[in-house]
Every structure is written in structure tokens, then in C-alpha cells.
Amino acid sequence: MNRLKNKAAIITGAASGIGKQQALLFAKEGAKVALGDLNEEKVQEVVKEIKDNGGDAIGFKMDITNNVDIDNLIAHTLSAFGKISILCNTAGMYDQFRNLLDTDEAFWNKILEINITGLYKVNQRVLPHMIENKYGVIVNIASGAAVIGGGGGIAYTSSKHAVVGFTKQLNAEWGLNGIRANAIVPGLINTPMVKGVIMDDPNSPIMDTLKKIPAGRYGEPKEVADLSLFLASDDSKYIYGAIVPIDGGMFSTLR
């Protein structure tokens, strides 16, 4: 299984949840992986797990809103692996369903800074290296809140809708330069973030939605990683600008 042989990938938010599973799977499939996350201890545990299984990985503490942290990760990736073939933008922050009147400007700015401005910063810095090699695959993790209302609060929903537009525009601007970008739209996935703010709250408005999901269950991070692998590999080389749901049928049911 070497679907990513000779590829080098950067994955943000790689210490847990979807990002961790992307890191483990990409390394298993032959990619050299550079991992960034705010939780340095956890990201180093992922690096160790990959190396213990014969993979090649480096990891760093990274705040995706911090230009120095981003530049540091990119520099180390290029030094260690010589190129950046794949970028998975997986880091993000939820907003606990805060509505418009409960969302002050500082909180609004924080959510957008992490979920879309941080994504912009990472993409903008990685893109020139991909263009130089005339090859690059970008996988942005959006959310069900990117395609429906009610999947989060006003800030989170706005930020994830922006991820979809950002992804489409990347293809319009750079597709002819060998770059392709797609976005994944996860439904209810059993990650620490979702578990903490949704699954463990019996009063969450999402709990009623769970009962209506055709698949009858939450998704697992490994399932999102499997989809990420497909989009990152040459198996999907004719897919540009796709917004791909992985939701157990939830979004089609809600529409």
C-alpha cells in the first residue's frame, strides 16, 4: 500500500481526531508527513507512533494564526523532505452554537482567524512551493456547517462557508499550475471537539439530528482520513474543487 509514495505532506491539527488519523494513514501509505498542532506533547506522540511503525514524520507546535509558527513548519518540512506535495488543513475551532446576539466581536474574530484566516495563511505560504514543482494537492476540512444552517453558531457557520468558497477559488486561480484543491464536509464525527461540545451535551440541538441520520451512527475520524487519502492521491487526479460530504446521509436528510 503505497498510494502516497514519494509524497511529502503537511497536516495541521494533527494531534488528535481527524488530523491524527490523516497523519497515521498517510504515513502508512508511504508519505513523509510534517505535523503541526497547538498541543506539542500530543503531536510528538503521533510522530513517535508513525516512526515506531516504520514511517517518516516530524512534528512541531504550531498556531495556525501565527506566521512564525507556519513558516517554521514549512521550513522544516522542506529541509527534511525537500518538497511539499500535499497540504491537509484540518485544524479548526468550534463556537458552541453561539447565536448572533451572543457572539461578541472578539469571539467572532477569534473563530474566523482560526478557521479561515489561518487556513489562508498556511495555503498562501505553501502554494509557491507547489507551483514551483508544478504539483500540489490541497485538502481543506470544512464542516456540515459549510453547506447548511444550524450546524454551528453564526461565527463557525460563516467561517466554514468561507472554506468552501476559498477551495473553489483556489482551483480557479491555480488549477492550470498543477494545483488541485478539494474540501471535505464531515457530518457528526466522533472527534474530541465534537464529543466535547455536542455528544456530551444532551441539550445540544444536534442530538435530535442524530436520530435522523440514515446511517444511524456517528462517523469515525478514520473514515474521514480514508476520504482524505483518496483526495490526496492520484486516484482522484481529475477531481478539482469538489465539496465532498461524509455524513452518513445527514445533509441530504436535512435539506
Q: Is 94 a catalytic residue?
A: no
Q: Which of 139, 252, 117, 247 is nearest to 194 (CA)?
A: 247
The DSSP secondary-structure symbol of 1 reads -
254 vs 10: CA distance, rounded Å: 34
Q: CB-based contacts of 208: which residues, under 8 Å, 6+ apart?
A: none
Amino acid identity, position 30: G
The helix/strand/coil state of 3 is coil
The helix/strand/coil state of 170 is helix
Q: In the chain, what's the furthest Cα-to-Cα distance?
A: 51
Buried b (16+ CB within 10 A) or exposed e, 59-85: bbbbebeeeebbeebbebbeeebebbb
Question: Which residues on adjacent β-strands are paired with residue 245?
Answer: 185
DSSP H stretches of helix in 17-66: 17-28, 40-52
Q: Which of 94, 120, 135, 156 is catalytic?
A: 156
> What are the φ/ψ torsions at residue 38 (nearest 5 degrees)?
-65, -30
Residues involved in catalysis: 156
